[in-house]
Chain A
Amino acid sequence: MKRQGPIILAFAIGMLMLIQFFTPAAFFKEAYNTILDWKQVVLGFTFILGTWSLIRYHYIKINRKRENWQYSYVTLAGLAITVLAALIWKTAEGPYPWLFNNVQVPMQSTMFSLLAFFVASASYRAFRARTFHATLLLIAGALVMLGRVPIGSYLSGSIFGVKISLVAISDWVLNVPNAAAKRGIMIGVGLGMTATAIKIILGIEQTYLGKTD
């Protein structure tokens, strides 16, 4: 029953979600919305689980003096200060929004801005024209990039009387081969998702329950 229960539940809820998509019946819509509300409630409780895991992880790290264990004090102190600020001064004003706007947001922005450098290093590696495919990627990438910047619109000319515009080439690369490949991937993804959902609803796939054999 320990494993049968979740399988039956997954089947029942899965079928409910499937049926509600095909019928306008009020019962199914209400059930769907209620389940979505429950999900939010459950999510709220699971954060207790997450916070406990975080505290435990850093407590063990400090206790066993693992590498850079001192930083765990910063994490735990940050957690405690944020929670206390929200509990004492509430979340609308006081230190809580200040911490969010002046500590968390700048740190997140810093991480996000690192992407520019990572894109540069990844592009360098991807564009090294060592193989036919890499050369093709380099040419396509250069054409698209030039076609997307203001100077690209000035870089046009004619070969054998045929007018060639970098913007038009860039648009063609994006709208024809690129869009075709993306759609191909998305069709595969859609089928894969559906197949996985069916496997879960029918109880064929049970790895998410811990069954691995």
Chain B
Amino acid sequence: MLLTTAFMLLSLTTHLPCAVTPALIEVNDTPNDWGNSLTVRWKPPLPPDSIIRYEVWRAHHGVSPVEITTFTDSSSFAEVMTHAGWVRAGMNRANDTLFVDSHLSKDTSYVYRLATYAPKMIILSNQSQPLRPERQYLDRSHTNILIATILFIAAVVTFVERARRGASLFIRRIAGLEAIEEAVGRATEMGRPILYVPGLEAMDEVATVAAIDILGQVAKKAGEYGTRLLVPNRDPIVMAVAQQVVRESFSAVGKPHMFRSQDVFYVTFSQFGFAAAVAGLMMREKPATNFFMGRFYAESLVLAETGNATGAIQIAGTDADAQLPFFISACDYTLIGEELYAGSVYLSRQPLLLGALKAQDYAKAIIIGAAIGVVLLYLVRPEIAEMIRKAFG
């Protein structure tokens, strides 16, 4: 076997083109991983336009050396490498200079060689230094987010604690939420139902959670006034949660008999099927008040314009910035972005929830301050501003 390999190597080295410098490769531990990958970087040995592709070869430390660095035949080259105990870890395109080798063991040292494929020539790099993957417990690329999250949680807990002790916390007036009582009252006076659409997303979307929180408050008001509440849903889980919330809200105001499970119903998962069904519902039932709360997409305008055509008072709230102009132009009141999340707190006025809202306001003030500060710093000392940008990258 050894004789065959040696003969093959000799045959490969005949008629070689002029000598070329092998690629310089560098192997490092991949940062922020669980000790299962290494990163191979290299400098191209030839101009990029004369490279076809790269192959990264890996072996355990202590593997048989392959002394030849230039080959002419790819299948023979692969055979030589495999015989010597090397494994092809991956292939890269001509303009790549980096390869991340995953699924490695943290208990093994690895060595690498890079094969550069050029027309009629394969250039093999020198063997890299042996390296073992290292395990990291913290993803350092998320350090800035971790610090911000800890500070924000601390602020929420602090303000919740202050609210628990009875501190008075001011919240600015939100017109769209102030109008809810009036809107429910209008539906009662007209003897028509209220329509509440909790968005198109599933329960794992925070906007849907916020929409369900507001639904609880709206259902309480509807219960107090004895007004029928219709809640069409696109997601079956949201429907189940909405049924529970409406049932509990009616019970909380002493009207459990008002709850009808067929009023909180599933329509379809199809986006425009849902829009068509809700638009049809608006035309048939003529609700006096429409609520569109949660995450919406292109169907937002179909819903809001149909509601507008029926003459209903409309209150919308969404965190989807692309849909805000449509709601603003077609609805009477629109909760913009964060106001949707503040809705439940604003309506319930629960001290603990107010505390969290206050923390949110302070965090926003800090972000605004930081943004203004960085802009001014860019104008006065751009090099320091750039340093900060890189640090928080």
Q: State which residues 313-367 of B face A: CB under 8 Å.
A: 319, 321, 324-326, 328-330, 336-338, 340-342, 344, 348, 352-353, 356-357, 359-360, 363-364, 367
Do B236 and A46 have beta carbons less than 8 Å apart? yes
Kindly state the separation between the CA atoms of A207 and B246 in the bound complex, as whole angstroms.
10
Contact status of A194 and B152, CB under 8 A, knowing A26-B34, A112-B298: yes
Do B305 and A118 have beta carbons less than 8 Å apart? yes
How many residues of B sit at the interface, in one of the four size bands?
35 or more
Quote the shortest CB–CB distance from B105 to chain A (angstroms): 12
Closest to A125 in B: B329
List chain B residues, Cβ under 8 A from A130: none
Quote the shortest CB–CB distance from B265 to chain A (angstroms): 5
Q: Is A148 an interface residue (CB 8 A)?
A: no
Quote the shortest CB–CB distance from A96 to chain B (angstroms): 15
Most chain A CB within 10 A, of B212, B216, B298, is at B216
Kindly state the separation between the CA atoms of A202 and B157 in the bound complex, as whole angstroms.
9
Kindly state the separation between the CA atoms of A115 and B301 in the bound complex, as whole angstroms.
7
Kindly state the separation between the CA atoms of A205 and B343 in the bound complex, as whole angstroms.
12
Closest to B32 in A: A24
Do A54 and B266 have beta carbons less than 8 Å apart? yes
Do A210 and B245 have beta carbons less than 8 Å apart? yes
Kindly state the separation between the CA atoms of A10 and B342 in the bound complex, as whole angstroms.
21
Do A121 and B142 have beta carbons less than 8 Å apart? no
Contact status of A47 and B236, CB under 8 A, knowing A115-B298, A115-B302, A212-B216: yes
Binds A, one of B62-70, B112-120, B247-255: B247-255
Q: State which residues 58-108 of A face B: CB under 8 Å.
A: 60, 67-68, 104, 107-108
List chain B residues, Cβ under 8 A from A145: none
Q: Identify which of A182, A196, A213 contacts B206 (C-beta below 8 A).
A: A196
List chain A residues, Cβ under 8 A from B149: 18, 194
Quote the shortest CB–CB distance from A136 to chain B (angstroms): 13
Count of residues in A whose CB is under 8 Å from the partner chain: 63
List chain A residues, Cβ under 8 A from B301: 115, 118-119, 122
Q: State which residues 264-289 of B face A: CB under 8 Å.
A: 265-273, 275-276, 284
Binds B, one of A153-161, A168-176, A185-193: A185-193
Binds A, one of B76-84, B85-93, B131-139, B187-195: B131-139
Kindly state the separation between the CA atoms of A192 and B294 in the bound complex, as whole angstroms.
13
Quote the shortest CB–CB distance from A208 to chain B (angstroms): 5
Do A199 and B356 have beta carbons less than 8 Å apart? yes
Instruction: Tell me the interface secondary structure of chain A in the complex.
Output: helix
Closest to A71 in B: B280
Do B160 and A192 have beta carbons less than 8 Å apart? no
Quote the shortest CB–CB distance from A159 to chain B (angstroms): 28
Q: Is B388 an interface residue (CB 8 A)?
A: no
Q: Is A43 an interface residue (CB 8 A)?
A: yes
Q: Is B219 an interface residue (CB 8 A)?
A: yes
Q: Is B201 an interface residue (CB 8 A)?
A: no
Q: Is A39 an interface residue (CB 8 A)?
A: yes
List chain B residues, Cβ under 8 A from A197: 206
Q: Identify which of B203, B216, B268 contacts A207 (C-beta below 8 A).
A: B216
List chain B residues, Cβ under 8 A from A187: 364, 367
Kindly state the separation between the CA atoms of A188 and B153 in the bound complex, as whole angstroms.
16
Quote the shortest CB–CB distance from B32 to chain A (angstroms): 6
Q: Is B125 an interface residue (CB 8 A)?
A: no
Inter-chain pairs besides A189-B338, A198-B356, 17 sampled, C-beta below 8 Å: A46-B236, A49-B236, A54-B267, A56-B262, A107-B272, A118-B302, A125-B329, A186-B321, A187-B364, A194-B149, A198-B153, A198-B156, A205-B213, A210-B216, A211-B248, A212-B217, A212-B245
Q: Which residues of B does A touch, CB under 8 Å?
A: 32-34, 36, 136-139, 142, 145-146, 149, 152-153, 156-157, 160, 202-204, 206-207, 209-210, 212-213, 216-217, 219-220, 233, 235-237, 239-241, 244-245, 247-249, 252, 261-262, 265-273, 275-276, 284, 298-299, 301-302, 304-305, 319, 321, 324-326, 328-330, 336-338, 340-342, 344, 348, 352-353, 356-357, 359-360, 363-364, 367
25 CB < 8 A contacts A-B? A22-B146, A23-B138, A24-B136, A43-B236, A47-B269, A53-B236, A54-B268, A104-B273, A108-B271, A111-B275, A122-B304, A185-B321, A185-B324, A185-B336, A188-B364, A191-B363, A195-B359, A196-B209, A196-B210, A207-B245, A208-B241, A209-B244, A212-B248, A212-B249, A213-B252
Q: Which residues of A does B touch, CB under 8 Å?
A: 18, 21-26, 29, 39, 42-43, 46-47, 49-51, 53-54, 56-57, 60, 67-68, 104, 107-108, 111-112, 114-115, 118-119, 121-123, 125-126, 182, 185-189, 191-200, 202, 204-205, 207-213
